[in-house]
């Protein structure tokens, strides 16, 4: 696949109109989070200055249609259902390069399925217009991060399936990419062609569903950013899985090579709500409940430290999926950190 630089120049009238409409939307951050500004908390030995936020953090996103039955097989319990895109479900990759947070700099690499929450599956597409009614969000299948303190907080407090791994985030003239390795084994490599410079002012909130301790846990995150977004033929990406333990459930699934959309947010600002919800994960019988994978146990977090250290970066020699020249990623641990 060949590549070219993202188009520049004056935006179309449609893009200008969309920018104006999005700019008029209010901030998605709840009033309580704004009221708590500059308050302090100490949770599981981790100090936070409220709200739990991030600044100046680039984000890569891509969404791929996948087989509906494959998506069903990834979901725990009986109350999560794949979001329907026609007859397909939607697999979502989101990589955030957190440059400024209360727990230091780290990368977060989310592999997830778009879902709704309730007694029954929702109609196709409608949850996009009524997100709260249908509990629209994403179920996080795997969530490697750079530092142990991020695992301690993200899993221990919010129930996210975090684990420490070797990660990078590489921004180049024509592509944005991120690589994930665990113990030397490839987890995932995602690379997108830089979308056109649409600079859409996004103000969005989303829900993360995660399995932990036999519970379905729901957390809420809010982002504000200027986003470059590509749809249709302009959305180009390469997604590749390896043999790392965290992605074994994803290997061999029917996930389209062509993304529905790609997005690059060069400078996002996020708030993770300290409020979260949880429910028991249930099954039709005691035997089925015992056999189901319902997340890690509490033991997986009790001995974690608050270290902000990163593991060795992934080995990138020779990787050039969308670009034309092999390159080696810079070591993220040597980059300046706020």
Nearest one of 139, 84, 110, 93 to 238, comparing CA atoms: 93
Q: In this predicted structure, what is the pLDDT of residue 331? A: 52
Tell me the CATH number at 25.
2.40.400.10
Q: Is residue 307 part of a domain?
A: yes
Total of domains in the chain: 1
- Give the pLDDT of residue 337: 41
336 domain-assigned: no
Strand duo 137-145 + 162-164: pairing: parallel
Q: Is residue 241 part of a domain?
A: yes
Percentage above 90 pLDDT, the chain: 84
In a domain, 19, yes or no: yes
How many contiguous H segments (helices) and E segments (strands) does the chain have?
Answer: 7, 16
| Residue 275 falls inside a structural domain | yes
What is residue 336's predicted lDDT score, i.e. its pLDDT? Answer: 44
Task: Tell the residue number behind the tokens 């200055």, with chain if given.
Answer: 49
CA distance 42 to 106: 20
Cα dihedral sign, 223-188-329-333: positive
Task: Quote the domain boundaries for residue 196.
Answer: 13-324
Cα–Cα–Cα angle for 1, 59, 243, nearest 5°? 60
Residue 330: inside a domain, yes or no?
A: no
| CA quadruple 72, 75, 77, 81: dihedral sign | negative
Instruction: Kindly give the confidence (pLDDT) of every residue in the chain, 338 residues in length, as a single tens digit, with 9 standing for 90 and above.
Output: 334 444 455 678 878 888 888 888 899 999 999 999 999 999 999 999 999 999 999 999 999 999 999 999 999 999 999 999 999 999 999 999 999 999 999 999 999 999 999 999 999 989 999 999 999 999 999 999 999 999 999 999 999 999 999 999 999 999 999 999 999 999 999 999 999 999 999 999 999 999 999 999 999 999 999 999 999 999 999 999 999 999 999 999 999 999 999 999 999 999 999 999 999 999 999 999 999 989 999 999 999 999 999 999 998 864 444 443 434 444 554 544 43
d(CA 242, CA 299): 27
Task: Find, among 131, 330, 171, 158, the residue nearest to 264 by Cα.
Answer: 171
- E strand spans, the chain: 40-43, 46-49, 52-67, 80-82, 88-98, 100-101, 106-117, 137-145, 162-164, 166-171, 175-182, 185-193, 200-212, 215-231, 237-241, 261-280
pLDDT value of position 8: 53
- Residue 164 token pair: 């420490």
Report pLDDT for 149: 98
Closest by CA to 293, choosing from 332, 248, 231, 232, is 248
Q: How far is CA 17 from CA 117, 203, 262, 333, in A?
A: 33, 16, 20, 41
The tens digit of pLDDT for each residue in 296-307 reads: 999 999 999 999
Predicted local distance difference test score (pLDDT) of residue 2: 35
Query: Distance between CA atoms of 288 and 47, rounded to whole angstroms?
Result: 39
Residue at 30 is within a domain: yes
Average pLDDT over the chain reads 91
The verdict on residue 70 lying in a domain is: yes
This prediction's pTM: 0.90
**Segment 127-158, tens digit of pLDDT:** 999 999 999 999 999 999 999 999 999 999 99
The residue to which tokens 């996210």 are assigned: 160
């Amino acid at each position: 696949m060949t590549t070219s630089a993202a188009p520049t120049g004056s935006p179309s009238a449609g893009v200008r109109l969309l920018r104006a409409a999005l700019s008029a939307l209010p901030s998605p951050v709840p009033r309580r989070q704004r009221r708590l500004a500059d308050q302090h908390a100490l949770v599981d030995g981790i100090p936070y200055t409220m709200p739990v936020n991030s600044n100046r953090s680039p984000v890569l996103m891509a969404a791929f249609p996948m087989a509906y039955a494959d998506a069903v097989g990834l979901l725990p319990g009986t109350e999560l259902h794949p979001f329907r895109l026609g007859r397909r479900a939607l697999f979502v990759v989101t990589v955030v390069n957190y440059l400024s947070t209360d727990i230091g700099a780290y990368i977060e690499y989310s592999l997830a399925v778009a879902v709704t929450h309730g007694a029954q599956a929702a109609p196709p597409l409608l949850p996009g217009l009524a997100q709260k009614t249908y509990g629209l969000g994403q179920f996080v299948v795997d969530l490697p991060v750079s530092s142990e303190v991020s695992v301690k907080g993200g899993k221990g407090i919010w129930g996210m399936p975090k684990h420490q791994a070797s990660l990078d985030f590489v921004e180049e003239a024509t592509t944005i990419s991120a690589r994930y390795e665990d113990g030397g084994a490839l987890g995932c490599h995602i690379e997108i062609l830089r979308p056109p410079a649409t600079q859409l002012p996004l103000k969005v909130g989303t829900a993360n569903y995660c399995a932990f301790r036999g519970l379905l846990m729901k957390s809420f995150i809010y982002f504000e950013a200027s986003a470059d977004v590509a749809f249709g033929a302009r959305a180009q990406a390469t997604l590749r899985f390896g043999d790392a333990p965290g992605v074994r459930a994803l290997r061999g699934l029917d996930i389209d090579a062509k993304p529905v959309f790609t997005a690059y947010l060069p400078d996002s600002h996020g708030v993770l709500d300290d409020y979260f919800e949880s429910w028991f994960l249930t099954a039709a019988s005691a035997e089925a409940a015992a056999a189901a994978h319902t997340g890690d146990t509490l033991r997986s977090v009790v001995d974690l430290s608050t270290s902000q250290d990163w593991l060795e970066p992934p080995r990138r020699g020779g990787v050039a999926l969308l670009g034309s020249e092999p390159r080696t990623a810079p070591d993220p641990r040597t980059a300046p950190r706020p």
